[in-house]
Structure 1
Amino acid sequence: MTRILYIEDDRDIGSWTSGDLEKRGYEVTWRTSGEHAGELAREADLVILDVMLPGLDGFTIGQRLKNQQPDLPILVLSARTAVDDKLQGLNFADDYMTKPFHPEELAARIQVLLRRGPQRDEQTLTLEHLRVLLPGGQITDTLTGEEILLSGKQFQIFMYLLRHHGRVLTKEQIYEAVWGEPYLDGDKTLNVHIRYLREKIEVDPSQPAIIQTVRGIGFRVKP
């Protein structure tokens, strides 16, 4: 059974939504604050998160959860509709939905997030003209039949993006995962490595078809 961690402090909305989701076959853990969210999220397949919460706000909780579990889908469900709020939420969340909402739409978005991920067979992932053998990460250009060799950091960046296929990852997330140290705003190191990586894997690096730039946020492998 799919397990959902639902954090919502409005008891009427929380009771109604969690009840509806349980009727749809989900196992729902509903909490009215972010207390112990990190521990509870380890047992969850998806998190639904309100923004305006007592104590830590949803933006802070969501970013912490995403840093701890980059693969965990997070859906922000909030009454805050401003563009700035949505952009801030999408720095870590996989989807942002505003209140009021229809339960059928929420259910549909949950299904999309649970399905999201790279389309692959047991050992091979195909992206445009690339064939990647997993888990070793051997990369072949199917247009030339030649193996593409990446440097250590290029390989780590590409594998990290592949593990989160289709998901927008911030520069901070990528840098901290690959270099293992805090990202400093304005540091161009990651951008330089992405540029060299594109020169090796893209047919036209000036118009990348595999690694997309999401302006103001970071990068993703094209879904």
Structure 2
Amino acid sequence: MDDDVDDGMLPATDPEVPGQARIPLGSNPVVLLADADERIRQGLTAQLAKYQVSVVHCGDGAAALLEAGLRKPDVLLVSADLPVIDGATVLRLVRRRLSIPVVLGVGPDDTAQVGPALAAGASACVARPYRPREVAQLLSLADRGNRGWDQPLVCGPLTLDPSTYEVRMHGVPTARLPLREFQLLHLLMLNAEKVITRDRIRAELWGEGARRSNTITVHIRRLRERLGDDPHHPEIIQTVRGVGYRLVPPAS
């Protein structure tokens, strides 16, 4: 089984303390969740209650458009494979009418939709099934006026542009990164020159989903390969033994 595939179930417990969740919008922010899977809707609703986040949910794209217009939620989270009206179409239509962040939930079979969704105005794409802490953090997009995730990052000749879902080295695009590798590189570049612990990577990108001990190691190895980093003597993504990883901007 691939390390980046979830089993379809939300974790039974969330290891994060609810009081420590950084929810910047004050009390009772609202997430509108559009997902055809009732288990996911009910599970995420219960988990986000620990973060004092209210969830309004519906099962298809037509209902999502109606609820978005009526309720004006802080964030709209739609799955890519919505029935009636698909998630990408919902995203485009909401973007024309409302200024709220719209986030696309992407399953293992939906990764081809990530680039077009971001190009169409998605604020971010997140892995589905969802991790409650990751969804709670999306509320910071609304608080920052939707200027959070879409800012390009530059580390020497290495650039990452979330708005186009593109990574370039010396101006040359790399192969398209899977969503989780893109998120991992974004985290490392956002904290360039700083050591990011394995615990922080696990908490921010996987939560309870990183069940296998080599999950992070595998994704780091794949990232190094895509960036042309020597796997035996890496210079860009360096291992800090026993702690985590540090991204060092490559030489120009």
The alignment's TM-score, normalised by the length of structure 1, stands at 0.49
In terms of Rg, which structure is larger? Answer: 1
The alignment's TM-score, normalised by the length of structure 2, stands at 0.44
